[in-house]
Amino acid sequence: MRVSEGSGDLGVPGCRGSPSVFLCQVPPAMEAPPEPFTQSKGAARSPEGARQEAAGAGISRVGLGDQDGEGAGVASPAQVLLGGGEGRAGAAPAGEAGKHLLVLQTVHLQAGEEDEEKEAEPQGGVRVVMQDEAPVVVVGEGVGVQQDVPPGVAISLQDGIYTFHDMELMQISVLQDAAPGKSKESKSTEKFADVLLIKIDRSKEVLAVEGKVHQAPTAEELRGSELPALEGKKIQSCKPDGGGSASHHDYKEEDATPSEEADIKYTETFRAQTNALQQKEEKETFSCVLCTFTCLRMSSLNRHMKIHSDEKPHLCHLCLRAFRTVTLLRNHMNTHTGTRPYKCSDCDMAFVTSGELARHRRYKHTLEKPFKCTLCKYCSVEASKLKRHIRSHTGERPYHCSLCSYASKDTYKLKRHMITHSGEKPYQCYVCQARFTQSGTMKIHVLQKHSENVPRHQCPRCETVIARKSDLRVHLRNLHSHLAVALKCSYCEAVFHERYALIQHKKTHRNEKKFKCDQCSYACKQERHLIVHKRIHTGEKPFICLCCSKCFRQKQLLTVHFRKYHDSDFKPTVFECPKCGKSYSRWSNMHKHAETCGFMRANTITSSKGSKGKKKRCRSLEHAKQEAVDQGSFQDVSIMNMEDCGTEIVPVTYGIEMTTPREQKTEITCEMLFDTMDK
DNA sequence: TCACTACACGCCCTCTGCTGGTTGAGC
DNA sequence: AGCTCAACCAGCAGAGGGCGTGTAGTGA
């Protein structure tokens, strides 16, 4: 919504020279096509513009009025003024060219000056109409503008500023940005062909339109042929209800039919004017007809009216950005020059305005937080922050995602959320070029992956050190939280209410051979191993070879037997002496032979690498075991059936350093099986 | 009219914490 | 080989801090 201010004369005592003409550029509707949810920082945006941007980005605002500090403000002029842009026949295409300038201008004329004034009329400017002696409002169509001028312009008579009594003459014309000045020629020639005359008899509250008299409150006339453009227009009051709530407008906008809109609009027009006049007379206050603003000074109102105008006469010669006031321009110029006259006495910060400095000091130094939450201990420097905080109590989520059910409490979170739909990863690690969706995520990545001083978080309950604090919290929750239902140890009767304690306790059972044979010294960790062992004492051999009826205590033994004696495809590994070529079924036997044969010593054959190295260790172990047997120190060898997946053999003592448990299991098992077979 | 001040709005940032997928060790 | 589980890791949202900028009140 661009609203520009023109110049003119209200014809009201004391108002000469004050703003009285408003160019109201009506946006071609709030139906901008959806765009990615992006907003450039620093872009000058009106609240309405921000709303439209958000809407265009798939962001819808739910809720009434501006209840936060981050949402749209009060109903903007684009909402409160008549929305005549989109409905005009032959209107320019959507976009800037489609916007219309609605010009209200007043002039003081004397009878007989009409022609002269017309000659002096600036392009698109003042028209003069004098009709009898009565005050006349001329609703004219600016030259080159379509016929269906929104008659709602009549409402823009500045209630509170000038009245029907005071007003001598007013022209309301509509211009188009795209063709701002067609018209001097046509104006001069067409005379009043494009001018709609409205005679106002204030005492009777009637309108005389083109000579026809209408009862003022009757909207039917407004919708009639006299004011054709009103019909179908989206009409919103520029004077909200007494409470100033935008909800009132929203309701009317959404619920009112065109005819009702006309009624509403027309009625509100008169009410606004009347109320403003009464207010002025009684309280000496000044009210804006375009919004709820009131003030005690005319100058304040004049200044305020600039926000409804698009005029920004103060131009930055460096970047051509325009500003409404000299102060704003001066502040802006400071951004070019780097001038920050307000320096903080407690730090190096400096600011363009004193207000910024004061706020900075509250944030950083005085820590003054005057805005306190009544529901918790939160307090803030700024009221808007308190408003935002209160949403965490109320759960209000005014900003809805148009693509999913998510709704956020403020615009930034919604904007951040929209990235999840676009798949965008705006943040890139400068080291490994990995991309991330949020800056914080990238920061943690850099810290954990590329930083020398990687932070570590020590668990206060155990020795665990975890890289991320959040994961430490998960660790505490999973392992150190108190459990209502006690956890029982699977090895003993101990119970624990903390998972970590149970895990630590179970470690005490590691390598614990609690299953002991009552007939010998055998002990093992698992009961099933003891069951197999006891077959040694009972003589039970449940696994029978179907070929030769030989019986075995373990399935593995039967399997090896079958392969060796009954499987023609079975090719047993043969270990030959490198010196004399004598064959052995076991490497250990071959190795023992080789020593006596004079080929090499046992400890010299352990020079291979890789997988051979693994084999080597196995061989060495077997060799050591064999030595232990030979020396009589190999007292007990337990053979336990591991179902059909192998056997586990636990040497009681080998008198040497053991290899890894896994290697022990597999390699020793093979050798011991051969031993068993040989037996 | 200007200047100062207070206030409001909006944007961006950080910190924080939860969640779910991945990975590797242990069994 | 397959399962379990704890640590790792990125994604994502909640909450709040800080500041730029525009507007309103008011005195000079």
Residue-wise pLDDT for A120-136, tens only, equals 333 333 232 223 333 32
Whether residue A234 has pLDDT greater than 80: no
CA-to-C1' span, A334 to B8 (A): 22
Nearest to A324, CA basis, from A336, A337, A307, A300? A307
Closest nt by CA–C1' to A471: C7
What are the C-alpha distances in Å from A503 to residues A361, A459, A495, A525? 53, 16, 11, 17
What whole-number distance in Å separates Cα of residue A144 and Cα of residue A90?
11
CA-to-C1' span, A427 to C3 (A): 38
CA-to-C1' span, A438 to C13 (A): 11
**What are the residues facing A23 on neighbouring strands?**
A4, A103
Give the rounded distance of the alpha carbon of A50 from its chain centre. Answer: 17
Would you state the pLDDT for residue A329? 75
- Over residues A186-195, the mean pLDDT reads 29
Better pLDDT: A656 or A431? A431
Burial of A84 (0-12, 13-18, 19+ CB in 10 A): buried
Would you state the pLDDT for residue A3? 28
Within 7 Å: CB of A469 and strand B? Answer: yes
- Over residues A646-668, the mean pLDDT reads 27
Residue A527's pLDDT band (boundaries 50, 70, 90)? low
Would you state the pLDDT for residue A294? 80
Phi and psi at residue A502, to the nearest 5°: -65, -45
Would you state the pLDDT for residue A165? 27
- Range with lowest mean pLDDT among A203-207, A345-349, A561-565, A595-599: A203-207
CA-to-C1' span, A327 to B2 (A): 9
- Range with lowest mean pLDDT among A145-159, A360-374, A532-546: A145-159
The amino acid sitting at A272 is A
Residue A347's pLDDT band (boundaries 50, 70, 90)? confident
- Over residues A326-344, the mean pLDDT reads 74
- Over residues A598-607, the mean pLDDT reads 36
Tokens describing residue A551: 């019986």
Would you state the pLDDT for residue A199? 32
Q: How would you classify the pairing of strands A495-496 and A515-516?
A: unpaired
Would you state the pLDDT for residue A232? 28
What whole-number distance in Å separates Cα of residue A425 and Cα of residue A428?
8
Average pLDDT, chain A: 52
Better pLDDT: A3 or A513? A513
- Over residues A578-583, the mean pLDDT reads 71
Within 7 Å: CB of A662 and strand B? Answer: no
Within 7 Å: CB of A303 and strand C? Answer: yes
Tokens describing residue A599: 């080929």
Would you state the pLDDT for residue A118? 33
What whole-number distance in Å separates Cα of residue A447 and Cα of residue A452?
8
- Helices marked H in A306-438 — which ranges? 326-337, 354-361, 383-394, 411-422
Strand B close residues, chain A 82-141, CB < 7 angstroms: none
What are the C-alpha distances in Å from A204 to residues A54, A217, A219, A279? 46, 11, 16, 21
- Over residues A455-469, the mean pLDDT reads 81
Of A66-80, A273-287, A394-408, A658-672, give the range with the top mean pLDDT: A394-408
Would you state the pLDDT for residue A136? 29
Give the rounded distance of the alpha carbon of A361 from its chain centre. Answer: 30
pLDDT in tens, A24-63: 222 333 333 333 222 222 223 333 333 333 333 333 333 3
What's the 3-state SS for A147-207? CCCCHHHHHHCCCCCCCCCCCCEEEEEEEECCCCCCCHHHHHHHCCCCEEEEEEECCCCEE
Whether residue A396 has pLDDT greater than 70: yes
- Over residues A184-193, the mean pLDDT reads 30
Phi and psi at residue A264, to the nearest 5°: -60, -45
Within 7 Å: CB of A45 and strand B? Answer: yes
- Residue A383 contacts residue A69 (beta carbons within 8 Å): yes
CA-to-C1' span, A355 to B6 (A): 8
Would you state the pLDDT for residue A33? 30
Count CB neighbours of A58 within 10 A: 17
CA-to-C1' span, A485 to B26 (A): 25
- Over residues A217-240, the mean pLDDT reads 30
Whether residue A395 has pLDDT greater than 80: yes
- Over residues A622-648, the mean pLDDT reads 31
- Range with lowest mean pLDDT among A66-75, A258-267, A409-418: A66-75
Residue A364's pLDDT band (boundaries 50, 70, 90)? confident
Residue A560's pLDDT band (boundaries 50, 70, 90)? low
Give the rounded distance of the alpha carbon of A572 from its chain centre. Answer: 68
Residue A330's pLDDT band (boundaries 50, 70, 90)? confident
Whether residue A645 has pLDDT greater than 60: no
Within 7 Å: CB of A391 and strand C? Answer: yes
Would you state the pLDDT for residue A266? 35
Of A135-139, A159-163, A402-406, A653-657, give the range with the top mean pLDDT: A402-406
- Residue A353 contacts residue A342 (beta carbons within 8 Å): yes
